[in-house]
């Protein structure tokens, strides 16, 4: 019979047994924790580094959102039902960060509105895309400011902010980080530098023009999720 491959819910160790033992209990050969052998084959989990294995061995246990079985908080997939625990956790974190950014966007919009309505108390707004709901959020702030005759300066440098500075009419400057190499990370794009006339141009590639250095990302990757 075909083998069944699954992972220990405590330490993340990959375990392979003969299919005739499906549905039975056993012990993990790595940490001796009790494991339940799945009744059906489970796809092999994602690549894990030695550091990830070490973390998994000391990880606390939680419940799988799908089958309610015990699974290590550092595990990639549920050893009982193959639910992609790590991916869902990452998605949950991303949702919470998005909520936080949206709240910050609402706060600054309220401040701008109050300031504009209080005898022009606001002369300029300083905003950034990564804390104000993304590129769209910053554009909303800039357009609100423009409609009320207020400048909106883009905070910080980088390709994303350079595109925004070019797209916003009521901004005066692009902040250029010096040395730019300090924050030029994990991309193949050349370092942004002003030309002889003091002007700087965004990339003309599709999207915002970022070309990721995937070899460098792989080199410094902690863990890869399928």
- Read out DSSP for 111-126? HHHHHHHTTS--SEEE
Q: Which of 83, 108, 126 is the last residue of a domain?
A: 83
What CATH number is given to the structural domain containing 136? 3.20.20.120
Regarding whether 104 and 75 lie in a shared domain, the answer is no
Residue with more model confidence, 136 or 72: 136
In 3D space, the residue among 67, 90, 88 whose CA is nearest the CA of residue 79 turns out to be 67
Q: Cβ(132)–Cβ(159) under 8 Å?
A: no
Say if residue 56 is in the same domain as residue 25: yes
The pLDDT-based confidence of 110 (bands split at 50, 70, 90) is confident
Instruction: Estimate to the nearest angstrom the gap between the alpha carbon of 88 and the chain centroid.
Output: 12
| CA atoms of 43 and 78, how far apart (whole Å) | 11
Tell which of 83, 113, 144 closes a domain. Answer: 83
Same domain, 121 and 175: yes
Residues near 95 by Cβ (< 8 Å), separated by ≥ 6?
A: none
- Domain match, 75 and 109 both: no
Are 61 and 106 found together in one domain?
no
Indicate if the pLDDT at residue 22 is higher than 90.
no
Greater model confidence, 79 or 45:
79
Residue 23 lies in a domain: yes
Higher pLDDT, 96 or 175: 175
The DSSP symbol for 182 reads G
Is residue 106 domain-shared with residue 214, that is, in the same domain?
yes
Residues 111, 198, single domain; the answer is yes
Domain count, the chain: 2
119 plus 194 within the same structural domain: yes
Quick check: is 175 in a domain?
yes
Same domain, 108 and 78: no
- Asked if residue 89 belongs to a domain, the reply is no
* 194 part of a folded domain: yes
What is the per-residue pLDDT for 50? 46
Look at residue 173 in the predicted model and tell me its pLDDT. Answer: 86
Same domain, residue pair 40 and 108 = no
CA gap 46, 224 in Å, rounded: 6
Domain identity same for 102 and 213:
yes
Q: What is the percent of the chain with per-residue pLDDT over 70, rounded to a whole number?
A: 73
In a domain? residue 226 = no
Same domain, 106 and 171: yes
What's the pLDDT band for 164 if we cut at 50, 70, 90? Answer: very high
User: Stretch 13-18: mean pLDDT, rounded?
Assistant: 81
Q: Is residue 134 part of a domain?
A: yes
**What average pLDDT score do residues 111-132 get?**
72
pLDDT of residue 193: 84
- State the Cα torsion 114-118-120-122 to the nearest 10°: -40
Domain span at residue 26 reads: 3-83
**Structure token digits, residue 42:** 């489970």
């Amino acid at each position: 019979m075909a083998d069944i491959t699954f992972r220990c819910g405590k330490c993340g160790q990959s375990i392979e047994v003969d299919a005739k033992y499906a549905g039975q209990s056993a012990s993990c050969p790595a940490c001796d924790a009790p494991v339940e052998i799945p009744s059906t084959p489970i796809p092999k989990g994602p690549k894990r580094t030695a550091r990830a294995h070490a973390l998994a061995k000391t990880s606390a246990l939680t419940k799988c959102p799908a089958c309610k079985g015990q699974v290590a908080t550092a595990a990639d997939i549920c050893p009982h039902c193959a639910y992609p625990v790590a991916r869902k956790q990452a998605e949950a974190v991303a949702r919470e960060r998005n909520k936080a950014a949206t709240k910050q966007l609402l706060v600054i919009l309220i401040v701008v509105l109050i300031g504009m309505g209080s005898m022009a108390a606001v002369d300029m707004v300083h905003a950034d895309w990564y804390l104000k709901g993304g590129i769209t959020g910053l554009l909303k702030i800039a357009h609100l400011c423009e409609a009320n005759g207020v400048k909106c300066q883009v905070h910080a440098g980088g390709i994303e902010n350079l595109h925004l500075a070019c797209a916003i009419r009521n901004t005066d400057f692009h902040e250029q980080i010096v040395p730019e190499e300090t924050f030029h990370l994990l991309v193949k794009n050349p370092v942004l530098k002003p030309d002889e006339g003091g002007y700087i141009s965004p990339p003309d590639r599709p999207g915002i023009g970022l070309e990721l250095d995937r070899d460098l990302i792989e080199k410094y990757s902690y863990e890869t999720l399928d």
